[in-house]
Amino acid sequence: MSLSINRESVKQWKLPELVDGCAVRGITGVGLWRYDVEAYGAAGAAELVRDAGLEVTSLCRGGFFTRLDRNLEHNLDDNRRAIDEAAALETDVLALVCGGLQDLDLRTARQRVADAITELAPYAAERGVRLGIEPLHPMFCSDRSVVSTLGQAVELAERAGPAEAVGVVVDAYHVWWDPELDAAVRRAGEGGRIVAFQVSDWVTPLPAGVLTGRALMGDGCIRLAEMRDLVEAAGYTGPVEVEIFNDELWARPGAEALDLIIERYRSELV
Amino acid sequence: MSLSINRESVKQWKLPELVDGCAVRGITGVGLWRYDVEAYGAAGAAELVRDAGLEVTSLCRGGFFTRLDRNLEHNLDDNRRAIDEAAALETDVLALVCGGLQDLDLRTARQRVADAITELAPYAAERGVRLGIEPLHPMFCSDRSVVSTLGQAVELAERAGPAEAVGVVVDAYHVWWDPELDAAVRRAGEGGRIVAFQVSDWVTPLPAGVLTGRALMGDGCIRLAEMRDLVEAAGYTGPVEVEIFNDELWARPGAEALDLIIERYRSELV
């Protein structure tokens, strides 16, 4: 597996700094966020990445299908734009953070997610983009995603469309604790539905709000090499994308943060 | 279902205040912690509760089977003492918080938990105490319990011993997010293995350390009445035990906190 840097891991850098920093270190992939597209336009961001000799491994993110503050058509339109942006960036992966519970009950919220992905699947497939349903850790169920396990994500994907249109994102931080993980990864792999593999590490105590608790690989308790073996055995051949949200890492100069990430990628995942 | 107050919900009160406060409000059950036994002795605590006309609905807690800082025999001895204490308190439920990952890998940690419970089951059954395996929310997997879903807890219980010896604790806060919850509750109920039902509510943002994030029923997103119906339909006939860890609730005078709990129990669960 090759290394890709999710740009949020080094968000102290603007996109041009990031692609240059990656290029001089021999890293060939970056995962972008929609704010990069907002800043440079899809064509502009694509050009920046391509000119540095890199490719975009994923775009983060579509989803938030349960939001009550926007109507469904508005939400679907925004997701279609995200698919267009992914296509323009020449990545075939759009990661979906499906949306939290809001004021819904779980069954309704999860049905809303299923309906939206089913609706978007053909649009994505026509543009060569695969929707990557990302189960988030259950501690995010109320506010970020009602898709809480990989098994649930795989089942959703299977019902929503063919593997060319809908898959799953395996993010170690979100799924490491799951007693059913091995079976879910195998099932996802058998269907050719693993579209991305992301890594960081789990440490406690969690910070207030829990979002920025992700640690550098090797600082926590996740057996990342085992998980890499698991997704590899399931047939995944894409990159390892490092996605860390961590105030200490963000406080460092970008070059230092990136060097640390590469060091830990080598010691924990190669 | 009747109401029981887990004593940690009103920890600003000492045990004598708590049982008196419950008695004058017509509450007939309390869940105790081992620190009550340390403070008054098992016989003394039992007498305090009995003299107030109450009964102990559960003792919290045994477990922590994965700790590396004590050897296994020491840990099992401590759990046998907890079983003895439950018997002396005339409760038939000892809740188990099984222990976090420590430096183990998940498979080893979970096997250690299974072995310990299997070993303790006959000792508990002989004393009329049921071990209640409590799955904790996956955000506690590394530091408190590697038992993360109700389905996993039920399977553990079934393998460890008969229903008279080993069951599960269904705590709404820990399990509400689980897409497999309904099936797990039904399976637990069919086996007669639901030994306790605890409630509080889920709110975000979570506080640092996440332990004290539990809210009063009605303040969060858990559909508690639906969950009550679910465990009732599965054959559970015991009390609803309110277990809240919340700094604001603890900062109130005990009587005020207890009145609030009763008010919310009535509006959300009766």
> For residue range A159-190, what is the model confidence (pLDDT) as tens digits?
999 999 999 999 999 999 999 999 999 999 99
Q: Which residues of B touch A (CB under 8 A)?
A: 101, 105-106, 110, 137-139, 141-143, 146, 148-149, 151-152, 176-179, 202-210, 220-221, 223, 226
Whether the bond into A205 is cis, omega within 30 of 0: yes
Which residue does chain A place closest to B210, by CA atoms? A206
Min Cα–Cα distance to chain B from A231, Å: 17
At residue A225, the pLDDT reads 98
At residue A69, the pLDDT reads 63
Min Cα–Cα distance to chain A from B117, Å: 18
Contacts of A203 in chain B (CB under 8 A): 142
Question: Is A179 within 8 Å of B110 when comparing Cβ atoms?
Answer: yes
Site from B105, B106, B145 to mutate, A interface, most A CB atoms within 10 angstroms: B106
Min Cα–Cα distance to chain A from B101, Å: 8
At residue B70, the pLDDT reads 65
φ, ψ of residue A166 to 5 degrees: the values are -135, 125
Handedness of CA B173, A176, A113, A241 (dihedral sign): positive
CATH number at residue A134: 3.20.20.150
CA distance B221 to B215: 10
Picking from B106, B141, B221, the nearest residue to A101 by CB comes out as B221
Picking from B105, B149, B205, the nearest residue to A179 by CB comes out as B149
Could you give the number of structural domains in chain B? Answer: 1
Q: pLDDT over 70 for what percent of chain A?
A: 99
Contacts of A146 in chain B (CB under 8 A): 177
Q: Which residues, 6+ apart, have CB-to-CB distance to A71 below 8 Å? A: none
Question: Is A177 within 8 Å of B148 when comparing Cβ atoms?
Answer: yes
Which residue does chain A place closest to B145, by CA atoms? A177
At residue A1, the pLDDT reads 75
8 Å CB contact between A139 and A214:
no
Vertex B179 angle, CA B175 and B184, to 5°? 65
φ, ψ of residue B226 to 5 degrees: the values are -65, -40
Q: How many Cβ atoms from other residues are within 10 Å of residue A267's Cβ?
A: 11
| Burial of residue A136 (number of CB atoms within 10 Å: 0-12, 13-18, 19+) | buried
Contacts of A139 in chain B (CB under 8 A): 137-139, 206, 210
Question: Is B223 within 8 Å of A106 when comparing Cβ atoms?
Answer: yes
Residue of A217, A231, A237, A118 whose CA lies nearest to A170: A231
Given the DSSP bridges, would you call strands B166-171 and A240-242 parallel, antiparallel or unpaired? Answer: unpaired
Which residue does chain A place closest to B150, by CA atoms? A179
pLDDT single digits (tens) B208-234? 999 999 999 999 999 999 999 999 999
Q: How many Cβ atoms from other residues are within 10 Å of residue B63's Cβ?
A: 28
Min Cα–Cα distance to chain B from A55, Å: 34
pLDDT single digits (tens) A94-118? 999 999 998 899 999 999 999 999 9
CA distance B141 to B152: 13
Q: Which two tokens stand for residue A86?
A: 């992914």
Q: If pLDDT is split at 50, 70 and 90, which confidence band does A21 have?
A: very high
8 Å CB contact between B246 and B216:
yes
Lowest pLDDT segment from A34-48, A54-68, B145-159: A54-68
At residue B71, the pLDDT reads 77
Contacts of B138 in chain A (CB under 8 A): 137-139, 177-178
Taking CB atoms and an 8 Å cut-off, how many pairs form between chains A and B?
A: 85
Q: Which two tokens stand for residue B5?
A: 């107050």
| Burial of residue B26 (number of CB atoms within 10 Å: 0-12, 13-18, 19+) | exposed
pLDDT surpasses 90 at B103: no
First-last CA distance in chain A? 8
pLDDT single digits (tens) B104-122? 999 999 999 999 999 999 9
**Residue B104 lies in domain:** 3-269
- Which residue, chain included where needed, has tokens 């299974």? B114
Min Cα–Cα distance to chain A from B183, Å: 14
At residue A70, the pLDDT reads 65
Min Cα–Cα distance to chain B from A204, Å: 7
ipTM: 0.96
8 Å CB contact between B117 and B166:
yes
Which residue does chain B place closest to A181, by CA atoms? B106
pLDDT single digits (tens) B49-100? 999 999 999 999 999 999 876 678 889 999 999 999 999 999 999 999 999 9
Average pLDDT, chain A: 97
Q: Say whether A131 sits in a helix, a strand or coil.
A: strand
CA distance A227 to A176: 8
φ, ψ of residue A6 to 5 degrees: the values are -70, 130
Q: Which residues, 6+ apart, have CB-to-CB distance to B225 below 8 Å? A: B268, B269
